[in-house]
Each structure stands twice: as C-alpha cells, then as structure tokens.
Amino acid sequence: MPRLKTAAAIAALTLLAACAKQMTPGAVAPGAPGFLEGLWHGFIFPIAWLFSLVRSDVAVYAVPNNGGWYDFGYFLGVCVFGVGAHRGPRVIYRERVVRERGPRGQTIEHEP
C-alpha cells in the first residue's frame, strides 16, 4: 500500500510538472544577468534585502535573468560565499562544578 501511494504521488507530481510553462529560447534578452551577476547578487543578498525593506526600487533577485546559470550563481553567492558560508568551527568551553553527595552526606566537588 505505501508503494502505491508513493507511485501515485510521483505520477501526480510528474503530470503537474509537465504543465509548467517554459520560456521560449528567444525570450531572454542578450544582456540579461547571467552567472556572474547571480553570484554577485547572491553575495550581496543580506544588504540588498535590508535596502529592499525601505526602498521599493531595490530587489534581491534580478528579473528577467538568463535562467539556470543565474540561479546557480545566486545559489553559490548566498550559500558558499555569502551568509551561508562556513566560517570555521566555533567551540565554546565552559567550566562547571559538579556537586555530588558522597557517603554519609558529604559533598564531593569535581573540578575540571
């Protein structure tokens, strides 16, 4: 039964995806933003987002763009070089004292 539900869900999603509108090859302007512009827009995303909150002429994503390459550059800009970049391990050390009750009610203190 679970396989039947999974197969039905995949079939429904495939049929739904087949209805998605695609752009014609000539619809993209020759000067439309591409990979490098997407990389830059992804990198400056946090700043652009803050400006877009107060100014209506600032956007965080260029439309129209050349499609997949712009999206890929935008993704890399945000995740790899921008706000999602891994900046190294952050380790926080804490010292703590553990108090235990020993035999006959004595308090035993453990220090690191």
Higher per-residue confidence, 13 vs 101: 13
Answer yes or no: is 35 within a domain. Answer: yes
Whether 20 is in a domain gets the answer no
d(CA 21, CA 26): 15
Residue 69 lies in a domain: yes
The structural domain count of the chain equals 1
Q: Determine the straight-line distance between the first and last CA of the chain, rounded to whole angstroms.
A: 56
83 assigned to some structural domain: yes
DSSP assignment of 33-101 equals: --HHHHHHHHHTHHHHHHHHHH-TT--SS-SS--SHHHHHHHHHIIIIISTT-------------EEEE
pLDDT digits (tens, 9 = 90+) for 13-27: 888 777 766 666 666
Q: What is the pLDDT of residues 33-89, one digit of tens each?
A: 889 999 999 988 888 999 999 988 888 888 888 888 899 999 998 888 777 666 666
pTM of the model: 0.53
Q: Band of the pLDDT at 104, cuts 50, 70, 90?
A: low
Asked if residue 17 belongs to a domain, the reply is: no
Q: Which two tokens stand for residue 38?
A: 């997407």
In angstroms, the CA 84 to CA 70 distance is 18
Question: Is 85 domain-assigned?
Answer: yes
What is the extent of the structural domain holding 38? 28-89
29 pLDDT band, cuts 50/70/90, is: confident
Note whether 42 and 77 are within 8 A (CB). Answer: yes
Residue 109 inside a domain? The answer is no
Tell whether 23 is covered by a domain: no
Give me the torsion for CA of 67, 73, 76, 79, rounded to 10°.
-60
